[in-house]
Amino acid sequence: MESMEHGMAQLILDSLPSPVLMSDLHGRLIFVNRAVEDDLGVERGELLGRPLIEALYQGRKFDRRGKYRSALMETLETGRSFNARFVEVKTVFHQLPRFFLVDTFFVHSSGGQLLGACAVYHDIFRHRELLKRAVMSRLTTISEQFETIYAFAEAIGARDLYTMGHSEKVAEYARLIAEALGLQEKEVDLAYICGIVHDVGKIGVPENILNKPGPLLPEEFVQITCHPDKGAAILSHISWLEQVVPVVLAHHERYDGRGYPRGLKGEEIPLLSRILSVADAFDAMTSDRSYRRALPVPVAINELKRNAGTQFDPRIVEVFVQVLLEYQF
């Protein structure tokens, strides 16, 4: 009877879309469900019996800020359980950090013996509403208005599908760069917001130019170069986005002064704009576009390096390349 129950429990856990992991008291993985295998792209045989920090986090228990990389490990070592805690998961199998809400709890045998701890991860990208709530609760200073920027993202995406996904990826890259540069949390959050709204000015560019597959005529290019000014003008009407305006205005400036719209140079360009410029170029190169296929990541990295000091701030390129290598691109 008991083994039947076990078999049933295994089936249920394997049918659950949320990744479930369990570790023994020594931090060794003793159970993972099928969602873990699917999410990480590995067979459970490669994970079971191994220390979870070694199997999933290259043996690094803490992140740059000294926080636990694994909520499960934190529960095991501190005794604290989590209930729908917002976490960023960066395992060796993930190319980019993923956001989850995690529940952790201790597991006892029927005789009351402590067996280990369990973590259940809820992928919040599957639930856009949850994602918004989670990000909003993290953005302490500007939380109430966060919906506004998602409204912008939707508005841009409605006209140009590439831009929608692009804005979110640029935001994520910009946030990672800001974090790696050691900026304060408020600035890191601001980098994310700037990423989401940076191309909002494209609302003012005709759709046939935006989605034109071939090269642009000079007069069409002029229309495109207006989008930082248009974006800044739109955003300037929202008082809480005051700090975003100069960043968006300068996101197409170049480090050597040959960018647009003002021809600013070097440190005259706001730091967050220099960050956006690198993040923007990387995502543009590594995405499929109507006129060409995505470039492989190593080629895109070489392009960034080749243009460091001319198009891009060399320090930012260096930091970003490090970040990308860290995430196993």
Residues that bind Fe ion (CB under 5 A): 199
Report d(CA 248, CA 86) in Å as an integer. Answer: 29
Q: Which helix (H) or strand (E) holds 149?
A: helix 146-159
Closest approach, Cβ 198 to Fe ion, in A, equals 6
Q: Which two tokens stand for residue 226?
A: 């207006």
Phi, psi of 34 (to 5 degrees): -65, -35
Closest approach, Cβ 314 to Fe ion, in A, equals 21
CB 219 within 8 Å of CB 233: no
Closest approach, Cβ 16 to Fe ion, in A, equals 41
For residue 15, CA distances in Å to 8, 35, 38 come to: 11, 8, 12
In terms of CB distance, is 115 or 284 closer to Fe ion?
A: 284
In terms of CB distance, is 53 or 247 closer to Fe ion?
A: 247
Which residue type occupies 300?
Answer: A
Q: Which helix (H) or strand (E) holds 87?
A: strand 85-89
Report d(CA 64, CA 16) in Å as an integer. Answer: 32
Q: How much is the CA Rg of the chain, to the nearest whole Å? A: 23
Closest approach, Cβ 251 to Fe ion, in A, equals 6
In terms of CB distance, is 19 or 231 closer to Fe ion?
A: 231
In terms of CB distance, is 123 or 199 closer to Fe ion?
A: 199
Residue 113 burial class via C-beta count within 10 angstroms: exposed 0-12, middle 13-18, buried 19 and up: exposed
Q: Which two tokens stand for residue 292?
A: 């060409």
Residue 189 burial class via C-beta count within 10 angstroms: exposed 0-12, middle 13-18, buried 19 and up: buried
In terms of CB distance, is 137 or 211 closer to Fe ion?
A: 211
Only one residue has tokens 């912008």, namely 152
Report d(CA 290, CA 318) in Å as an integer. Answer: 30
Closest approach, Cβ 252 to Fe ion, in A, equals 6
In terms of CB distance, is 28 or 254 closer to Fe ion?
A: 254
Closest approach, Cβ 300 to Fe ion, in A, equals 17
In terms of CB distance, is 139 or 247 closer to Fe ion?
A: 247
Nearest residue to Fe ion, scored by beta-carbon proximity: 199
Closest approach, Cβ 263 to Fe ion, in A, equals 16
Closest approach, Cβ 199 to Fe ion, in A, equals 5
In terms of CB distance, is 127 or 292 closer to Fe ion?
A: 292
CB 56 within 8 Å of CB 92: yes
